[in-house]
Homo-oligomer: A and B are copies of this chain.
Amino acid sequence: MAELTNDRFLRALMREPTDRTPVWMMRQAGRYLPEYRASRAEAGDFLSLCKNADFACEVTLQPLERYPLDAAILFSDILTIPDAMGLGLYFETGEGPRFERTVRSMADVEALHQPDMASDLGYVMNAVSTIRGALNGRVPLIGFSGSPWTLATYMIEGGSSKDFRHIKAMLYNDPETLHALLTRLADSVTDYLNAQIEAGAQAVQIFDTWGGVLGHTVYPTFSLDYMTRIVKGLKRTHQGRRVPVILFTKGGGQWLESIAASGADALGLDWTTSLADARTRVGEQVALQGNMDPSVLYASPDGIRTEVERILAEYGKGSGHVFNLGHGIHQFVDPEHAGAFVEAVVELSPKYHR
């Protein structure tokens, strides 16, 4: 493997000094890019794009050709594990992800296939090693997984949800079954992220997209505890280098202290939380990643620049901040606006690192 020529993303996650604030965007390889839409049309559909290492590599690298980003993130779907467990993932146009089968009982949990990382999810590891090779040390590659709670919401509801009716009913009426499912998921996510690390991922992020819909007393038990278990099970050093872990619970701004106690290296933040407050609360323990509202990318390039400056000032001087959006980039964003965002971080951040 080639030596990393740009390691400021990894250094910032370790709260080590950097020349400027590193920047990447959640969902940076995505529908807002015309070249992504072209690749997807060529591949046929979204899952074919994920399952073919060459296509996955192609789209992973597309945003790096346009913007001076400091990290690449594996192009894959959040629901690869439930799919490998036998639930039959498919996509309905305009409906988001769906499963052919749901999990609603202990029998359903027990019937789940235990995914084998090589035979069932080897296509993801192929993508990781292919991308890592193609990056050739340009920037680090981030691997990722959904959190157990987030994966469980899709498995129990059968797809996206507005009210999380079935999983919340299970949480209160049959917590044993839910814990059995979350335990299996935590084990699989641990294996999955370790396999990504072995294949070449240099940092990993756990997306707890739906942790914020939980009450404050059940979030620790049904989401955070399982992420903590994963963090403790991860191979944190690979080929002599620390592999940092980022936890991102969207809507988790009130719970940063407990999330920081998980042992993760960094926390993702959305835009409802002040970076200055977050730094005061947990900045001695973890790095912070975020937190511009992706809707700011609908503003003019000047407006975007103003907001970038405000966020840099809010975090303040010194290392430990990875600039990002507070959620994935929206599909209707003009790619030039995404460029204005990345350029603004590159140009405006060095003064905070002198």
Contact = CB atoms under 8 A, between A and B. Distances in A.
Interface of A: 163-165, 168-169, 172-173, 212, 214-217, 219, 251, 253-254, 271-274, 293-296, 298-300, 303-304, 307, 310, 330, 332
28 contacts: A163-B294, A163-B295, A163-B330, A164-B295, A165-B295, A165-B298, A165-B330, A168-B293, A168-B295, A168-B296, A168-B298, A168-B299, A169-B298, A172-B299, A172-B304, A172-B307, A173-B298, A173-B299, A173-B300, A173-B303, A215-B272, A216-B272, A216-B273, A216-B274, A217-B274, A219-B272, A254-B254, A254-B272
A215 B217 CA distance: 25
A297 to B, nearest CB: 9
Given A168-B295, A215-B272, A216-B272, 17 more contacts: A163-B330, A165-B295, A168-B298, A168-B299, A172-B298, A172-B299, A172-B303, A172-B304, A173-B298, A173-B299, A212-B272, A214-B272, A216-B273, A216-B274, A217-B310, A254-B254, A254-B272
Contacts of A299: 168-169, 172-173
A304 B303 CA distance: 48
A303 B168 CA distance: 12
**What are the 7 tightest A-B residue pairs by CB atom distance, in nearest-first order?**
A172-B299, A168-B295, A169-B298, A215-B271, A172-B303, A215-B293, A216-B274
A307 B310 CA distance: 41
A273 B254 contact: yes
Nearest to A252: B272
A295 B169 contact: yes
Contacts of A217: 274, 310
Contacts of A298: 165, 168-169, 172-173
Contacts of A273: 216, 254
Contact of A216 (B169, B214, B271): B271
A165 to B, nearest CB: 6
Most buried by B among A215, A298, A310: A215
A180 to B, nearest CB: 18
